[in-house]
Amino acid sequence: MRITVTVNGRTRSADCEPRRTLADFLRYDLGLTGVHVGCEQGACGSCTVLLDGATARSCCVLAVQADGSDITTVEGMATTSLSPLQESFRRHHALQCGFCTPGMLAVATELLRDNPEPTEAEIRTAIAGNLCRCTGYHAIVTAIAAAARGGDGGSPPSPPEA
Amino acid sequence: MKAAPFDYVRASSAEAAVEALRGGGVALAGGQSLIPLLNARSRRPRVVVDVSRLPLTRIEQDGPALALGALTRLRAAETSPVVRRTVPLLAEALTHVGHVSVRNRGTVGGSVAHADPAAELPAVLLALDAVFSVLGPDGTRVVAARDFFLGRHRTALAAGELLTGIRVPLPPSTARHGLAELSRRPDDLAITAVFTSVVLADGVVADARIAVAGAGPTPIRAGAAENLLRGRAPTPDVLAAAADAAAAATDPVDDVHAPAAYRRDMAAVLTRRALREAVAG
């Protein structure tokens, strides 16, 4: 089936099988390798993109369902320089292997748009559906909180109670 | 894993969807339950009927009920001022359904039709005596929530039937609600969850509804516990007795998330917490 989507501001058309997930379509058919395919069952959040302005796990959307949609992947977040959120991730060492990072950036983008001054608890809830196996989340929370404050260095939040 | 091949039909109307479903197709709404099952090849339908573009997305007060189109996105229902005003228990329960990314895509009808025994929406709609509109080859029929959930992922929907709408009778303005949920992470599927709505009159319980998720093959309405509360002042002893009665009504099994005995104990604890929250107003 032929589908047409707007990805990162560009109109793209391609043929795909109905069973093709949006994640595989973006990654393998359109070459957007920032879409990280982890669990393929909606558990890890790594493939999260913005679909018509709202986050979606692209492994849980068929590409044919997204026909006509507007999609932003991590490739569309930065222009010539990093976005303020990405810059905050870099400054606060909020990634190690980077596998979860595109998904984390997507949910954090949505969070800060809907709730520009989130509490630490709200940040933790927002990223609870995205698994990170490297950082223990601490630096990610710090980076999102700092981005919400306008990207200052800031002091990191205190560690969670055991 | 990748899904096995299937034919894809994008339904242009509810009637066309029913026609396509008659041949053994499966309805695809928001896909948040179905697509993981397709990817895991737990389900291998011959035809997937995409109903997600059908205009069944109303959210409005319709006389003495809240009317929701089956294809209303969970996030749209959760954030709707109409839902918050008319059925606040439903609005609060929706904040626990999956993560925001899941609620952005998932639909109220999809969650009901998927009938996961640990899911919030089937249980809260059971507590609220919701009724479901079902379109089939012979027209529309109405099924009460208490007749709808038949087993784990099993509902009263026959092959070739499509859930089209949900009506939730408005609780009286004096109703107060409480919910308590146990899960591993915020917004994860519940291990056990309890939804309560209580009406107090002159310090006495005039009406109580209690439903438990994650403690049986279907969501469970704790009728004995409700009867125990009616006509009594909600003292700690009465709430504890109702909580024990609710736990006694459950039928949990051991699984990877929790042993059955733990779920039953938690049903009592969560019922007590939810009732305490409700009567505290």
Rounded CA gap, B103 and B107, in Å?
A: 7
At B30-63, the pLDDT tens digits run: 999 999 999 999 999 999 999 999 999 999 999 9
Across the interface, whether the CB atoms of B32 and A42 are under 8 A apart is answered yes
Q: In angstroms, what separates the C-alpha of B63 from chain A's closest C-alpha?
A: 32
Rounded CA gap, B46 and B52, in Å?
A: 18
Model confidence at A153: pLDDT above 70: no
- Nearest residue, CB atoms, A48 vs list B2, B75, B101: B101
- Nearest residue, CB atoms, A55 vs list B1, B10, B104: B104
CATH 3.30.43 describes domain B7-50: yes
H or E segment to which residue A93 belongs: none
Q: Which amino acid is at A137?
A: Y
Residue of A nearest to B29 (CA): A65
Q: Which of residues 90-109 of B touch A (CB under 8 A)?
A: 98-102, 104-105
CA B206 to each of CA A73, B23, B228: distance values in angstroms, whole numbers, following the listed order: 53, 48, 11
Confidence of residue A116 (pLDDT cuts 50, 70, 90): very high
Across the interface, whether the CB atoms of B1 and A59 are under 8 A apart is answered no
Q: In angstroms, what separates the C-alpha of B21 from chain A's closest C-alpha?
A: 17
Confidence of residue A152 (pLDDT cuts 50, 70, 90): low
Query: Domains along chain A?
Result: 2-76 (3.10.20.30), 84-149 (1.10.150.120)
Chain A interface includes B7 (CB < 8 A): yes
At B141-173, the pLDDT tens digits run: 999 999 999 999 999 999 999 999 999 999 999
At B226-280, the pLDDT tens digits run: 999 999 999 999 999 999 999 999 999 998 889 999 999 999 999 999 999 999 9
Across the interface, whether the CB atoms of B50 and A64 are under 8 A apart is answered yes
Question: Phi and psi for A16 in degrees, rounded to 5?
Answer: -150, 155
Q: How far apart are the first and last CA of chain B?
A: 48
Task: Kindly report the three-state secondary structure assignment for every residue of chain B.
Answer: CCCCCCEEEECCCHHHHHHHHHCCCEEECCCCCHHHHHHCCCCCCCEEEECCCCCCCCEEEECCEEEEECCCEHHHHHHCHHHHHHCHHHHHHHCCCCCHHHHHHCEHHHHHHHCCCCCHHHHHHHHCCCEEEEEECCEEEEEEHHHHEEECCEECCCCCCEEEEEEEECCCCCEEEEEEEECCCCCCCCCEEEEEEEEEECCEEEEEEEEEECCCCCCEECHHHHHHHCCCCCCHHHHHHHHHHHHHCCCCCCCCCCCHHHHHHHHHHHHHHHHHHHHHC
All structural domains of chain B with their residue ranges: 7-50, 59-168, 179-280
Chain A interface includes B12 (CB < 8 A): no
Rounded CA gap, B207 and B255, in Å?
A: 34
Across the interface, whether the CB atoms of A110 and B100 are under 8 A apart is answered yes
Q: In angstroms, what separates the C-alpha of A117 from chain B's closest C-alpha?
A: 17
> What pLDDT score does A99 carry?
97
> What pLDDT score does A155 carry?
53
The pLDDT of B192-219, averaged and rounded, is 97
Selected for mutation to probe chain A from B99, B183, B187, B188 (highest A CB count within 10 Å) is B99
Burial of B241 (0-12, 13-18, 19+ CB in 10 A): middle
At B82-137, the pLDDT tens digits run: 999 999 999 999 999 999 999 999 999 999 999 999 999 999 999 999 999 999 99
Residue of A nearest to B103 (CA): A56
> What pLDDT score does A160 carry?
58
Across the interface, whether the CB atoms of B185 and A128 are under 8 A apart is answered yes
Shortest CA distance to B88 belongs to which of B179, B164, B165, B166? B179
Q: Which CATH architecture has domain B179-280?
A: 2-Layer Sandwich (3.30)
Rounded CA gap, B226 and B243, in Å?
A: 10
Q: Tokens 């989130």 correspond to what residue?
A: A118
Q: In CATH, which of 3.30.465.10, 3.90.1300.10, 3.40.50.620, 3.30.1050.10 is domain B59-168? A: 3.30.465.10
Q: In angstroms, what separates the C-alpha of A97 from chain B's closest C-alpha?
A: 23
Q: In angstroms, what separates the C-alpha of B206 from chain A's closest C-alpha?
A: 37
Across the interface, whether the CB atoms of B52 and A65 are under 8 A apart is answered yes
> What pLDDT score does B24 carry?
85
Beta bridge pairs of residue B47: B7
> What pLDDT score does A90 carry?
95
CA A46 to each of CA A29, A40, B91, B185, B261: distance values in angstroms, whole numbers, following the listed order: 18, 9, 28, 17, 35
CA dihedral B232→B236→B242→B246, nearest 10 degrees, is: 150
